[in-house]
Amino acid sequence: MREQLKAIQKELGEIDERGEEVRELRKKIEDSKMPDKVEKEAHKQLKRLEKMHPDSAEAGTIRTYIDWLIEIPWSRSTKDNLDLKAAKKVLDEDHYDLERVKERILEYLGVRKLKEKMKGPILCFVGPPGVGKTSLGKSIARALGREFFRMSLGGMRDEAEIRGHRRTYVGAMPGRIIQGIKTTGKNNPVFMLDEVDKIGMDFRGDPASALLEVLDPEQNFAFADHYLGVPFDLSKVMFITTANLIDPIPSPLRDRMEIIYLSGYTTEEKLGIARNYLTPKQLNEHGITGKTIRINDSAVAQIITHYTREAGVRNLEREIANLCRKVARKIAEGKVKKYHISANNLSKYLGVPKYLPEEEMEKDEVGVATGLAWTESGGDIIYIEATIMKGKGHLTLTGQLGEVMKESAHAALSYIRSRAKSLNIDNDVFSKNDIHIHVPAGAIPKDGPSAGITMATSLASAFTGKPVKKSIAMTGEVTLRGRVLPIGGLKEQTLAAKRMGIKKVIIPSRNKKDLEDIPKYIKKDMEFITVETMDEVLENALKSPKKSPKKGKAK
C-alpha cells in the first residue's frame, strides 16, 4: 500500500520529502570536502538510509551519523598569524615573565613560517596551581589567531570519553576530542587538555592510555574515533596539556610530550603581576576607578607575605578583590572620597595577618640548623632542632614528618655515628643517650629528602657542642657515606633564604648548573657554597666553641 501511495503521490506531483532530504544530504556531503575514504562511507550510509523506512530507529541513528560526518571540519582550517612581533606583543600583554614558554611558542611560529606543513607540537605545562597554565593556552591561541578549546581531564575514568562509543549503543556519540573539533569548526585549533595528572582509571578503561594515540604526532594523523569509524587527521591540532605534578602521569604518556616547567613566582614578580594585571582587572570588575582607590606597592607586598602563602597569584587576586569590595561598599553608602591603602592601614581592611614569617634566630645555637625547603607554595625556611638526653639510644622524630624525611633523619644519624672518631665523639654517647629531632610548625606536613644535610648538621652540633652559624642556610640530600646529593626547587629555596636576609647558602655541587636559572636580582649579595661531602658542610656550618663542653651534652 505504501508503494501504491508513493506511486499516487508521484502521479499527483506531490513533493517527495524523503527524496528531498536525501538530495540535500548528498549535496552537503559533496560540499564538506571530506577525504575520499570518508566520502565513500558517507554515500554508503546514505544509500542505506534511502532504502529504510523513515520512522525506524535505525534510520534515526544513520541520519545522526551522516550529520556528524558533514559537520566535522575535514578541510576547514584557520590561517596562522605568522607575525612574530605581533605574537610576542600578545604574549607579553597577557603574561608577566614566563620567558621560556613564550620563546618556545615564537620558535614554533618561526618554523611554521619557513615550513608550511608541520606537525603541531605537544606541550605539557607543569607547575603549582595559580601560575597561569590554563590562561597561557588562551593567549597562545590568541597569538596564533587560532580557535581555542579547553577540555578538563580531572577525574575522567571512562576511555569512551576520549574515543567515543560504538554506534551499536543507544545514544552513542563521538569522544570529546572530535566533539571539541566540531565545536571550534576548524581542524587546527589550540586544544587544551587540563589536569592530565588527575585522570582516573577503573573497570571502564584507562583514559590515559587512550590519550597515547591522540598525543603522538606519528599516530594521530589517522585518529580513529569509535563512533565515526573513519580516520581523522589530528596532526594539525596544537595540543597543550597542564599538570601540577609530573609523577602521576604514566611514563609512556609523559614521553610523548615536551615538558615545560613553570616555577612559582617571586615576590617581585607577584608585585609586577598585581600592578599590571590583577589590580586593573579587579577595579574594572568592581566598578571602581583609580581616582577613588590607590593601592600602594607596600600594601601589595604586605598582602603577598602576610596574607597569602602560595606559588601562584590566585589568593593574591582574591585579597585585592576583597579590598575593592570594602571600598565599593563605602562608596555605595555615600562615603565618596579617595581611599589610599598602604601597608600601615591594610589591617583595617583585611584584618589581622594570616601568616607571619619565621622569626630569625637571634644567636648561633647548638643543635639548631637552618634548612631550606620546597613547598607547593614556593620556598620556605625550616629550623631543625636536635637534642640529646640520658636514655638507651632511641631516636624520636616529631613535627609531622613524611616517610622520606624520617628516612633522611635515620641516614643522618647513621652517618654521624660512622664518623664519630673524626668528629671526636665518644661511641658510648650513642648507646647511653636518647636523641630527639624536631622540626617546628608541627601542624604542617613536611616531606622530601632536601633536609638531609640540615639534620646531619644539627645532630653533629648537638653531639660535639659546636654551635651552628645562624647566617648560613643549607639544602641537600645526604647519603650514608656522607656524600651530598642534588635537590630540586633551588630557585624557590634561594628566594626563601633571601626573604629571611640570609646571605650564605650551602648547596650540593651538582646543583651549581641550576644557579644559571635564578635571576640576577635574587643572586645579588648572596654567596653560594657548593659542597660534595658532609665534611665540607660541617666545616662551613659549625663554629668552634669558646670553651669545650662535655662530650655528648647539648647546651
Give the Cα separation of 466 and 458 in Å (integer): 10
What's the confidence (pLDDT) of residue 548?
45
For 196-205, how does the pLDDT look when each residue is reduced to its tens digit (9 = 90+)? Answer: 999 887 777 7
pTM: 0.80
What's the confidence (pLDDT) of residue 94?
87
461-469 average pLDDT score: 92
CATH classification for the domain delimited by 84-261, as one of 1.10.3720.10, 3.20.20.150, 3.40.50.300, 3.20.20.70:
3.40.50.300
SS3 call for 120: coil
Which residue spans within 64-167 are E strands per DSSP? 122-126, 148-152
Give the Cα separation of 372 and 506 in Å (integer): 10
10 Å CB burial of residue 507 (0-12, 13-18, 19+) is: buried
Are 389 and 433 a contacting pair, CB within 8 Å?
yes
Q: Give residue limits of the domains in the chain.
A: 2-71, 84-261, 267-350, 368-541
Maximum average pLDDT range among 106-110, 378-382, 491-495 = 106-110
Distances in Å between the Cα of 424 and the Cα atoms of 87, 413, 466, 506, 548 are 64, 15, 12, 24, 12
Give the Cα separation of 208 and 254 in Å (integer): 10
Beta bridge partners of 294: 340
Give percent of the chain with pLDDT exceeding 70. Answer: 95
Higher pLDDT residue, 358 or 250?
Answer: 250
Are 493 and 475 a contacting pair, CB within 8 Å?
yes
* End-to-end CA gap in the chain: 108
470-475 average pLDDT score: 91
121-135 average pLDDT score: 88
Distances in Å between the Cα of 13 and the Cα atoms of 23, 464, 502 are 17, 110, 94
Please tell us whether the domain made up of 368-541 is placed in CATH 1.10.3720.10. no
Give the Cα separation of 151 and 71 in Å (integer): 20
Are 246 and 128 a contacting pair, CB within 8 Å?
no
Give the Cα separation of 165 and 90 in Å (integer): 39
Are 126 and 246 a contacting pair, CB within 8 Å?
yes
CATH number attached to the domain at 267-350: 1.10.8.60
For 302-345, how does the pLDDT look when each residue is reduced to its tens digit (9 = 90+)? Answer: 999 889 878 789 999 999 999 999 999 999 998 888 899 999 99
20-32 average pLDDT score: 87
Give the Cα separation of 302 and 316 in Å (integer): 11
Fold match between domain 84-261 and domain 368-541: no
| Among the ranges given (65-69, 126-130, 400-404, 549-553), the one the predictor scored with the smallest mean pLDDT | 549-553
Beta bridge partners of 508: 531
What's the confidence (pLDDT) of residue 549?
45
10 Å CB burial of residue 497 (0-12, 13-18, 19+) is: buried
